[in-house]
Structure 1
Amino acid sequence: MKLLRFLWLCLLPIVSNCENATDMKTIRDVKRAYEAKLLALPDVVSVGIGTDGEGSPVIVVGLTCDNMVTRNQVPKKLEGYPVVVRATGVPEAQ
């Protein structure tokens, strides 16, 4: 009985962390949820997923030109995921 109680107390932090992990949305879910709102901003032509300089996932918002008004309207994070704004220019069909 003491052994079972000891094991339960040891596993409790792991179990509680698992509950939080299931509540987290994936970066794809977050991108999908905010994509239309971001694309409605002036000069925004793309919303994608990329990586930062350290290889961590980020949401990438592409602008036709470096519009500071729009840049300031884009949140720095969306549901915990960093957002990077890049001036990509006008996309061309190939």
Structure 2
Amino acid sequence: MFGSIKLIIAWILVFMFAFTTVNCSKKVEDQQGEATMSSKSIQDVLKEHGRTLMDIPGVEGVGQGLTDDDQDCVRVFVSSMTPEVKKQVPKTLDGYPVIIEVTGEFKALDDDQD
């Protein structure tokens, strides 16, 4: 009788250990993934960094967009791709990828144009 109880307890411990190991490795993956995923919303990231990005010479605008695989990203619209733009615009902001898009200079439309 004691042998079967010990066997049951041993199996329970094995399953608990296996479950804990799987959970711990998942948490490590999640923590590593946090480097690419932000806890902030994309809107908060744009509010926080938008003015700084707009101060970079050649930047015409910033906005929210999607990557080719439908992930949120920060879009930086520039008049031309200059060495200064490449140097000053970061590759990521708070975990979101930053995509530079050459659009040319933004110009306001006349009110008379309908």
TM-score when scaled to structure 2? 0.60
Aligned-pair CA distance for 1:61: 0.4
1:4-83 paired onto structure 2 within 5 Å? 24-83=39-98
CA RMSD, 1 decimal: 2.2
CA offsets per residue over residues 11-56 of structure 1, 9 Å max, x none?
xx7xxx9xx9xx9210110011000100000100100001111111
User: Could you tell me which of 66, 88, 91 is aligned with 2:103?
Assistant: 88
Aligned-pair CA distance for 1:92: 2.3
Which of 1 and 2 has greater Rg? 2
Q: Which runs of 4+ in 1 moved over 6 A?
A: none
Q: Percent identity?
A: 30
State how far apart, in whole Å, the 2-side matches of 1:36 and 1:93 are.
20
Structure 1 alignment gaps of length 5 or more? 1-9
The secondary structure found in structure 2 opposite 1:34 is helix
Number of aligned positions between the proteins:
78
Q: Which moved more, 1:31-40 or 1:66-75?
A: 66-75
State how far apart, in whole Å, the 2-side matches of 1:39 and 1:92 are.
15
Amino acid of the structure 2 residue aligned with 1:64: S
TM-score when scaled to structure 1? 0.72
